């Protein structure tokens, strides 16, 4: 390799910003742009009806592939693939084109460019595509599981593919230690397995603002409106909160396939006038919401399909802004908060307990603020982007240097 040529990383992902300021989760791009100083990063991601054309975004070369007539390319956004498939069964017809489109686009790229390593976000389908590229072109790959692909997508066939993807990779990461245990449980045995989450900008963006006073009775929920976010449990607990603090108001910043059902639930409970559904909220507006809220409530659950959060990004952002939190007990929370997790975790399906935790935080805002400062200190050592990007950079270098951790025939 020439000393003047940066290694080329081909990133395969599903969730990716369609444009600057997109309210869709941007964690894959945030990592890519931080790797762009060390590598030439190419992000191969799906097109969408309202996506900007491919090009350079923050030093990352973004290549968008088509997988259906443009107006029908709705498999990924506004809730995620699994939620969209549940909501509209006809979208299963998009899945073959989605997978084949990314695979064929990746093959074209590796034939034209000298790709040194592939970074596949999600075991399926991106890990499967990376495995195919390794078999045909000998390119090593790092695969990262974010949670839903590991805990969900259950069944014999899906599990067999996950095992094959893990066995053939040069390295694998998961975003929480609980996911390491799930890998062992279902028989995933990659050559190396490290816990390395996505990061949060705790230096400049998601930081407290002492000049911004917090509202007195404003609850905040941020996230996709899908079952594993657990918003239905927060709504169910809200009448008990309002019975003691009728001035409380809940702001919901998010969008997704469950929105109509959640709004109907609020109406049935007689609390529709106390809940504001803001809809899609640009990323740059989130810090102000976190800094103003009295309490961020994240009632995450494991949904009936097994899907759950790996390491909740919105929770990390809220903590970065010094916002007090109440959170459901899912995989990554203990990794993020350490011993301090016990002070803020609640069982979301115990609606009385959720209400009690909310009321306790609202009654003593000084204690809640002190707890929030401790949580931020605990999280900063784990999820600051500088540390995370350095970790991924080292792993990608290792994959390039030791590409044959698994036999190419896997």
Residues 259, 242: Cα–Cα separation, whole Å: 22
Per-residue confidence band for 306, with pLDDT thresholds at 50, 70 and 90: low
Per-residue confidence band for 382, with pLDDT thresholds at 50, 70 and 90: confident
Residue 88, class by beta-carbon neighbours within 10 Å (0-12 exposed, 13-18 middle, 19+ buried)? middle
* Structure confidence by residue, pLDDT tens digits, 77-87: 877 887 788 88
Does residue 13 lie within any of the structural domains?
Answer: yes
Judge if 172 and 43 occupy the same domain.
Answer: yes
Judge if 144 and 261 occupy the same domain.
Answer: no
Run of H or E residues at 356: helix 351-363
Judge if 224 and 301 occupy the same domain.
Answer: yes
Other CB atoms within 10 A of residue 377 CB: 12
Judge if 185 and 252 occupy the same domain.
Answer: no
Does residue 210 lie within any of the structural domains?
Answer: no
Q: Domain limits at 280?
A: 218-383
Cα 30 to chain centroid distance, Å, stands at 11
Based on the structure, what is the number of domains in the chain?
Answer: 2
Residues 235, 130: Cα–Cα separation, whole Å: 41
Does residue 264 lie within any of the structural domains?
Answer: yes
With H, G, I as helix, E, B as strand and everything else as coil, classify residue 368: helix
With H, G, I as helix, E, B as strand and everything else as coil, classify residue 139: coil
Per-residue confidence band for 1, with pLDDT thresholds at 50, 70 and 90: very low
Are 143 and 120 a contacting pair, CB within 8 Å?
A: yes
- 275 to 10, 59, 154, 271, 287: CA distances (angstroms): 43, 40, 35, 7, 20
Residues 132, 139: Cα–Cα separation, whole Å: 10
Cis bond before residue 125 (omega within 30° of 0):
yes
Judge if 148 and 234 occupy the same domain.
Answer: no
Phi, psi at 177, each rounded to 5°: -70, -30
With H, G, I as helix, E, B as strand and everything else as coil, classify residue 297: strand
Comparing CA positions, the residue from 404, 407, 397 lying closest to residue 1 is: 397
**How high is the pLDDT of residue 334?**
76
Answer yes or no: is pLDDT of 307 > 60. Answer: no
Judge if 252 and 126 occupy the same domain.
Answer: no
Does residue 248 lie within any of the structural domains?
Answer: yes
Answer yes or no: is pLDDT of 408 > 50. Answer: no
Residues 342, 360: Cα–Cα separation, whole Å: 15
Helices marked H in 142-269 — which ranges? 148-151, 156-168, 177-186, 231-244, 259-268
In 236-340, where do the E strands start and end? 249-253, 275-279, 295-298, 325-328
Answer whether 0.85 is exceeded by the pTM: no
* Structure confidence by residue, pLDDT tens digits, 274-290: 999 999 888 889 999 99
Mean pLDDT of all residues belonging to the chain: 90
- 286 to 253, 293, 296, 313, 345: CA distances (angstroms): 9, 11, 12, 12, 23
DSSP codes of every residue in 32-61: HHHHTTTSEEEEEEE--TTPPPSEEETTEE
**How high is the pLDDT of residue 337?**
76
Judge if 148 and 227 occupy the same domain.
Answer: no
Residue matched to tokens 């990608």: 396
Phi, psi at 279, each rounded to 5°: 80, -160
Phi, psi at 196, each rounded to 5°: -150, 105
- The sheet with strand 295-298 has its strands ordered as 275-279, 249-253, 218-222, 295-298, 325-328, 345-346
Bridge-based pairing state of the strands 60-65 and 55-57: antiparallel
Residue 235, class by beta-carbon neighbours within 10 Å (0-12 exposed, 13-18 middle, 19+ buried)? buried
Does residue 204 lie within any of the structural domains?
Answer: no
**How high is the pLDDT of residue 331?**
63
Judge if 195 and 230 occupy the same domain.
Answer: no
Residues 47, 68: Cα–Cα separation, whole Å: 9
Per-residue confidence band for 404, with pLDDT thresholds at 50, 70 and 90: low
Judge if 134 and 267 occupy the same domain.
Answer: no
The CATH number of the domain holding residue 332 is 3.40.50.2000
**How high is the pLDDT of residue 405?**
55
What is the percent of the chain with per-residue pLDDT over 70, rounded to a whole number? 95
331 or 237: which leads in pLDDT: 237
Residues 15, 213: Cα–Cα separation, whole Å: 34
Judge if 235 and 259 occupy the same domain.
Answer: yes
Run of H or E residues at 221: strand 218-222
Judge if 26 and 166 occupy the same domain.
Answer: yes
Judge if 225 and 305 occupy the same domain.
Answer: yes
């Amino acid at each position: 390799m020439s000393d003047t040529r940066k290694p080329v990383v081909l990133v395969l992902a599903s969730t990716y910003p369609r444009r600057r300021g997109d309210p869709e989760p941007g964690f894959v791009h945030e990592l890519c742009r931080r790797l762009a100083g060390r590598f030439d990063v190419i992000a191969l991601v799906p097109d969408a009806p309202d996506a900007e054309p491919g090009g350079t975004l923050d030093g990352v070369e973004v290549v968008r592939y088509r997988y259906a007539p443009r107006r029908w390319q709705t498999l990924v956004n506004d809730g995620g693939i699994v939620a969209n498939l549940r909501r509209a069964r006809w979208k299963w017809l998009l899945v073959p084109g989605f997978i084949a489109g990314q695979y064929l686009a990746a093959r074209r790229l590796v034939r034209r460019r000298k790709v040194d390593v592939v970074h596949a976000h999600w075991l399926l389908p991106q890990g499967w595509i990376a495995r195919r590229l390794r078999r045909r072109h000998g390119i090593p790959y790092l695969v990262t599981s974010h949670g839903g692909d590991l805990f969900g997508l259950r069944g014999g066939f899906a599990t067999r593919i996950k095992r094959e993807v893990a066995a053939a990779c040069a390295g694998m990461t998961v975003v929480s230690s609980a996911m390491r245990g799930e890998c062992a449980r279902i028989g995933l045995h990659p050559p190396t397995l490290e816990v390395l989450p996505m990061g949060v900008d705790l230096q400049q963006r998601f930081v407290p603002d002492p000049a911004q006073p917090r509202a007195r009775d404003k609850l905040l929920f941020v996230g996709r409106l899908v079952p594993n976010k657990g918003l239905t449990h927060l709504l169910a607990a809200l009448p008990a909160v309002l019975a003691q603090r009728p001035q409380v108001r809940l702001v919901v910043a998010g969008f997704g396939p469950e929105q109509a059902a959640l709004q109907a639930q609020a109406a049935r409970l007689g609390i529709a006038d106390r809940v504001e559904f803001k809809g899609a909220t640009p990323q740059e507006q989130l810090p102000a919401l976190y800094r103003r809220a009295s309490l961020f409530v994240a009632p995450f659950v494991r949904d009936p399909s097994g899907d759950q959060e790996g390491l909740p990004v919105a929770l990390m952002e809220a903590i970065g802004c010094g916002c007090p939190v109440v959170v459901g007990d899912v995989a990554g929370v203990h990794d993020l908060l350490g011993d301090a997790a016990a002070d803020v975790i609640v069982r979301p399906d115990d609606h009385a307990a959720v209400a009690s935790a909310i009321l306790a935080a609202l009654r003593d805002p000084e204690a809640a603020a002190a707890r929030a400062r401790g949580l931020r200190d605990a999280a900063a050592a784990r999820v600051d982007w500088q540390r995370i990007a350095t970790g991924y950079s080292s792993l990608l270098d290792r994959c390039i240097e030791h590409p044959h951790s698994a036999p190419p025939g896997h």
